[in-house]
Amino acid sequence: MQDHITPRRVVILGGGFAGLFAARALRRSPVAVTVVDRRAHHLFQPLLYQCASGILSEGQIAQPLRAVLRRHHNVSCVLAEATDVDVGAQVVHLRRPDGGALDLPYDDLIVGVGMRQSYFGHDEFAAHAPGMKTLHDALDIRRRIYRAFEMAETASDAGERQEWLTFALVGGGPTGVELAGQIREIAGHTLDREFRKTDSAQARVLLFEGSGEVLGAFGHPLALRAARTLRSLGVELHLSTRVTEVDVHGLTVEGQDGATTRFDARTVLWTAGVEAPPIAAALARATGAGQDRAGRIFVEPDLTVPGHPEIHVTGDVMSLNKLPGLAEVAMQSGAYAGRAVRHAVEGRTKQPKPFRYLDLGSAAYISRGKAVVKAGPLHLSGAVGWLAWLFIHLAFLTGFRSRLGAVLSWSVSFVTSSRRERAFTMPDADTSAGRAQSAPPPP
């Protein structure tokens, strides 16, 4: 334990739910906490799809890390990405946004870096089928969705128009289901009667899932209800299929019988699969820790890396008892790791109890007034499920401003079907226009 002059140095990698709750658990401890993240904001990731679909703004789901932690006087924030760990010297190697290197010593290291999108060995798909793990991804998807309807309006023929009006989503988990429902609402209600040549309600939404049902983690009864709700909205479900090719004009899928089918769609969105970021592999190499197929790090029951009690791994990037990659798991594991460090600083010698996850349930929003919620033996759907979903997300949104803004936006969207956050940019066109405006007049 450090002396009273030099406080114990705690480095937290990741400003997501795990990192944030770890920092909060150390708020009143005599330690110096440094939160490292490659982005300067804390993101409420479960609502990314609502930003992508135009219901919520960026500011309603993302708060500056420094603002969230401003009352934590023992916490500082560093904008950088962890690239490696020297466990012998107890130093984290960082890369700043400008490419510069930075070394950060630690006495305790809490890793909560989350996961990133996985294309199952086909990274070439990413150019045509963006995932949705970051705020940048959500804004890119918003641009692609609303641009598609604009392009359909000026299509040269019916075939091209239908390509623009076809949206393909790969992955039938919560994100895929939620996005599919939102796109159908946009097409059938939000954009209704806004176009002169295009009937937005004719848009096709295709949802591809490798297993035999959507929302399989919610259990068979809720999966059936979700599928029924999606079909009633007009979403076309293609189950037990595997995507084999994606390009600018659509995708090719393979069914259970081995037959391949081509689907023309100008908008393909990837919501299937995750993998650990490179720092997880670097930490595993440095410590000798094992990793699962997705790159998650195997941890002890107290969330420490085997042989390294000074390193805790939390949230989505940890592998323990097949815990799911949920925000609630990240919150609880981050808080647990923070308390473990606090107890060590306070000189408690008693062995901490193993981490135990309290399952508060899972929820997925499908459309206005319709959601599915699973909390232990309690299964909710329809309007009751939607009310439960609303309560859960309001309870965990960071900051009063975010909660109030979300309530107002949800109220407007629910009552009027409108979406206030529909602005999107076209980078190439905007850059060209800017250059033309700033160019000097011809002689």
Q: Of 163, 178, 185, 213, which residue is the catalytic one? A: 178
Phi first, then psi, for residue 244 (nearest 5°) are -115, -15
DSSP 188: I
**Residue 123 is which amino acid?**
D
Token digits for 380? Answer: 């909710």
Give 190's strand partners.
none
Q: Check if 178 is active-site.
A: yes
What is the C-alpha separation between 443 and 439, in angstroms, rounded? 12
Query: Residue 317, SS3?
Result: helix
CA-CA distance, 137 to 140, in Å (whole number)?
5
Residue 221 tokens read as 């009864």
Question: Which of 237, 101, 121, 105 is closest to 181 using CA atoms?
Answer: 237
Angle (deg, nearest 10), helices 382-396 and 400-416: 150
Element (H, E) at 426: none
Which residues are CB-neighbours of 400 under 8 A, at least 6 positions away? none
Separation between Cα atoms, residue 222 and residue 372, nearest integer Å: 7
Catalytic center residues: 178
